[in-house]
Structure 1
Amino acid sequence: MKLTPTDFGGAMAVDSYGPGFFRVGRTVYHGPVLVTATSAGAWGGLDDRTALMALAGQVDVLFLGMGADVAHAPADLIAALHKAGIAVEPMASPTAARSYNVTLSEGRRVACALLPL
């Protein structure tokens, strides 16, 4: 079977991840990371709501990686993001990274905020 590489059209994709790190656009980030089509950087985790709220008007969906396992995100955070027009999908970080990449490859306005494994 011939594999065809995914073309992200220059957008930032999550290249890989492992215990405590994420590799995005060939740069390794230790700890939580916030990734959009145009940027990636360290994120302060679930307490850093300012960075997530700044996505309003830029993204339609935020894949929220909760670490190694699926966990509930704070209800007030989800409500605030919904009020700002951002749909939030909490899931395990590996699933969030893959979902972000697939949705990004479709040209959609997405971001992912990932807690480390």
Structure 2
Amino acid sequence: MKFQPDRIDTVAIQAHGPGWLVVAGQRHEHSVIVSPAGVQPWDCTALADLTPAHFERLLDDAPEVVLFGSGQRLRFVAPALLRALLQRGIGVETMDTMAAARTYNILAAEGRRVVAALLIETAGK
């Protein structure tokens, strides 16, 4: 039994599929950062191109947990890329982008300080 209502005043990921997401009514075909405050482009097009700076940017939203969506399948990045988050005690969970989108909606609806960094690979398009 649930004792607290879901929040309806947060940004939600409304739909997703291979290579796209709909966030707050807008379709995105590029990597994005989603937080309860809004959605922003995330300037990465391939897992191999990620740098520590990509993850340091996530600190701006002061998350308690970061969900990293690694693309169409589950892939992990080197721990050194996550150092800025881990040193501040921010939890990082890695999953495929669609699973991260679903998990983000659940945590955001609970009022958690969650940020989803969702990789949509566009290399070769």
1:53 counterpart residue number: 59
Conservation of the 8 A alpha-carbon contact between 1:65 and 1:90? yes
Given candidates 58, 79, 87, the residue that maps to 2:83 is 79
Equivalent positions of 1:1-117 (< 5 A) are 7-45=6-44, 46-47=50-51, 48-55=54-61, 58-116=62-120
Task: Give distance in 2, aligned partners of 1:86 and 1:50.
Answer: 11
Conservation of the 8 A alpha-carbon contact between 1:29 and 1:41? no
Task: Give distance in 2, aligned partners of 1:23 and 1:88.
Answer: 23
One-letter code aligned to 1:107: G
Conservation of the 8 A alpha-carbon contact between 1:43 and 1:51? no
- Deviation of 1:9 (Å): 2.1
CA RMSD, Structure 1 to Structure 2 (Å): 1.8
Task: Give distance in 1, aligned partners of 2:72 and 2:56.
Answer: 24
Note the residue ranges of structure 2 that are not aligned, 5 or more in a row. 45-49
Q: Which ranges of 4 or more aligned residues in structure 1 deviate by more than 4 Å? A: none
- Deviation of 1:108 (Å): 0.8
Q: Tell me the SS of whatever aligns to 1:54.
A: helix
Conservation of the 8 A alpha-carbon contact between 2:72 and 2:96? yes
Q: Tell me the SS of whatever aligns to 1:15.
A: strand
Q: What is the TM-score normalised by the length of structure 2?
A: 0.78
- Deviation of 1:7 (Å): 4.6
Q: What is the TM-score normalised by the length of structure 1?
A: 0.83
One-letter code aligned to 1:91: M
Conservation of the 8 A alpha-carbon contact between 1:53 and 1:84? no
- Number of residues of Structure 1 aligned to a counterpart in Structure 2: 110
